[in-house]
Structure 1
Amino acid sequence: MTTLEGRPNTALLVIDVQQQVVADAWDRDGVIGRINILVDKARGENVPVIWVQHSDDNMPVDSDGWQYVPELTREESEPLVHKRFGDSFEDTDLETLLAERQVGRLVVTGAQTDACIRSTLHGALVRGYDATLVEDAHTTEDLRQWGVPVSAEQVIAHTNTYWSWSDSPGRTGDVVPAAEVDFRSR
């Protein structure tokens, strides 16, 4: 139901599945495996796959930690968005890439749940997109040693729950498991 005119298409976003970001992530291998399945499915259905890659002072461009995990391979024709903020739209060309592809709905995967995933989901909704969070294809690390009162698994479960109730006038947020992702426009 996107509020963006003439944007009937869906795109798959793969956010920050970089070596440093997911090194200690909950269910790392399972999440990456499910993202790989979704990437293959999207490619098979001619759905745009857009990769997002974060950098900052602690993870500089071209450092080992900045690299995408070797289990995921971006095709040369698939856009790569470079970002420095949590929201993948902020100060990037993501909106331009989506507009060129007439995308009004995003299927969101990646890391970290409690930072860049949440920021991008909210950024999408306020900009007029429908945003589907893939329930079992996003992850985060356990941050209890820094005062976060819950485990990574609880952060993921909480995000899945609250995002399933997210909506705004004319657009929706929803949550589906990877096995049930449908890239067809609604």
Structure 2
Amino acid sequence: MTTLPDRPNTALLVIDVQNGVVNGSHNRDSVIANIDTLIAKARAEDVPVIWVQHSDDNLKRGSESWAYVPELVRRDSEPLVHKNYGDSFEDTELEVLLADRAVGRLVVTGAQTDECIRATLHGGFVRGYDVTLVGDAHTTEDLSPYGAPTPDKVIAHTNLYWQYHRAPGRRAGTVSTDQVSFTTDDAG
């Protein structure tokens, strides 16, 4: 259903599951386990797995906090997108990688829910992609001391509103890990 013509494929995005990003995040271990399950499923179905890695003043490239968590292992054949902004599309080669693979649908996982996950969801959607959020495969840190809701509420709210997000010719949706389908004729 994507508005991108001739893009029948789906890709799994693994966004910013880096030591310094998910250390102390809500349900860290179960979220990482769910992402690992999805990576295995994508690989078994020959679905592209695209890794996204953030760097900024707090996540210096090459540092331990910048590195991906040891539980998740990227294969050399799987693209790694380096980014400096919340939206994984912004000033990166992500769009070229997806076009080369005829991808019109994204399945999104990772961190942080209230920044890079939301920015990438919307960034992909406004660029014409169908975008599915895996509701139990994203997380965020506790920013409630700064006035934000607690992480469980941030995650629940994001899952809720993305479930109902719509636009002409595109689909959004929220599913759990066990509901993910990598076929494009299924919103899950």
Report the TM-score range of the alignment, normalised by the length of the smaller protein. Answer: over 0.9
Equivalences for residues 53-92 of structure 1 within 5 A: 53-92=53-92
Letter in 1 for 2:92: T
Letter in 1 for 2:168: P
The question of whether the paired residues in 2 share the 8 Å contact of 1:125 and 1:167 is answered with no
Letter in 2 for 1:9: N
* Cα RMSD after superposing both structures: 0.5
Letter in 2 for 1:145: P
Q: Distance in 1 between matches of 2:77 and 2:174?
A: 28
Secondary structure at the counterpart of residue 114 of structure 1: helix
Shift of 1:11: 0.2
Question: Which residue pairs with 2:169 in the alignment?
Answer: 170
Letter in 1 for 2:180: V
Equivalences for residues 2-151 of structure 1 within 5 A: 2-148=2-148, 150-151=149-150
The question of whether the paired residues in 2 share the 8 Å contact of 1:10 and 1:106 is answered with yes
Equivalenced residues, count = 185
Shift of 1:172: 1.2
Shift of 1:137: 0.2
TM-score with structure 2 setting the length:
0.98
Secondary structure at the counterpart of residue 71 of structure 1: coil
Letter in 1 for 2:52: V
Question: Which residue pairs with 1:153 in the alignment?
Answer: 152
The question of whether the paired residues in 2 share the 8 Å contact of 1:113 and 1:156 is answered with yes
Shift of 1:24: 1.2
Letter in 2 for 1:154: K
The question of whether the paired residues in 2 share the 8 Å contact of 1:59 and 1:66 is answered with yes
Secondary structure at the counterpart of residue 34 of structure 1: helix
Q: Distance in 2 between matches of 1:185 and 1:162?
A: 21
Which of structure 1's runs of 4+ aligned residues deviate more than 2 A? none
Q: Distance in 2 between matches of 1:49 and 1:32?
A: 15
Identity of aligned residues (%): 64
Q: Which runs of 5+ in 1 are unaligned?
A: none
Secondary structure at the counterpart of residue 174 of structure 1: strand
